[in-house]
Amino acid sequence: MKALLGGIGFGLVFLLGWLVLSSTGNDTKPDLHSSRTANTDDGLPQMVHPIDLTGPFSFAGKELPMDNFDVRERLDLELMRNAYFHRNTLLLLKRKGRYFPIIERILAEEGVPDDLKYLAAAESTLTEAVSPAGAKGVWQFMAPTGRAYGLEINDEVDERFHLEKATRAAAAYLKDYYEDFGDWNKVAAAYNMGGPNLKKWLDRQRAEELYDLDINQETMQYLFRIVALKAIMERPEDFGYRVPDEESYPLLDDYRTVVVDSSIANLGDFAREQATTYRMLKLYNPWLVTGTLTVSRGNSYELRIP
């Protein structure tokens, strides 16, 4: 009996202690249904605010008419899409140090507004991309257009992947569209959907401005995507992105140039002879698309050797 009473007493003490601890724990739990104003100790550990649309927002020197509610909402959509597409936007911010210095220099030399570099960012996220339709490179040229603007494209060489040459070609292509439209906003849309299509829709809908067109969703949002990327890449800190200079991908400018005027049967052997690797050779010369290089008589290629 004494042992039984002792056991009961111990059990009562344990139960009392458990009730006290439970009551204390419940008092510290956040009330997610409370009407109190949230602070750093309540609710989910985040604060999501609408993006500031006070602007101004512009493209190639022309401001977007932010007093137009439709323009505001379409830009708002692209700003949210890209500001919260963290992996993609962070990669763009890291890559711009590799690609933009080259693109900026060539656009300036060709007399094309600097903002057109964001078209390349929208087209390819600054990679040597290949689309399902067959467009390739940072500027996403289709093969017939690339050839029409002087790019060599064959089984072994594809200069759509040659950043300098493709940027020169893109600048010429953009300037030709500017001759047609006289408006860089429309030039950007024409780059996306084709000049003849854009002319057709502008005439059919009696539209004066690009914003007034009601056409396919891809082209309707295209300029807004470019402007959104411009805003984020120019002022990343305003959107919560901080990429120190040392975290940016380096410009591939540490190389020597070798002029090749005879065919190369195996680029791996050539790379070894040049004291580098096949992988490095391809990174510095992405326009070499196979493991061989045929050089016709009287022709030559400049290869970059890291």
Which residues lie below 8 Å from residue 255, measured CB to CB, with a gap of 6+?
284, 304, 305, 306
**What does residue 225 show for φ and ψ, rounded to 5 degrees?**
-65, -40
Written as tens digits, the pLDDT of the chain (306 aa) is 444 444 445 454 444 454 444 544 444 443 434 444 445 556 677 777 888 898 899 999 999 999 999 999 999 999 999 999 999 999 999 999 999 999 999 999 999 999 999 999 999 999 999 999 999 999 999 999 999 999 999 999 999 999 999 999 999 999 999 999 999 999 999 999 999 999 999 999 999 999 999 998 888 999 999 999 999 999 999 999 999 999 999 999 999 999 999 999 999 999 999 999 999 999 999 999 999 999 999 999 999 999
Structure letter (DSSP) for residue 290: S
What is the per-residue pLDDT for 95? Answer: 97
Report the C-alpha gap between 193 and 219 in whole angstroms.
Answer: 7
pLDDT at residue 74, as a whole number: 96
Q: Quote the crossing angle between the two packed helices 217-234 and 117-124, to the nearest 10°.
A: 120
Residue 44's pLDDT is 72
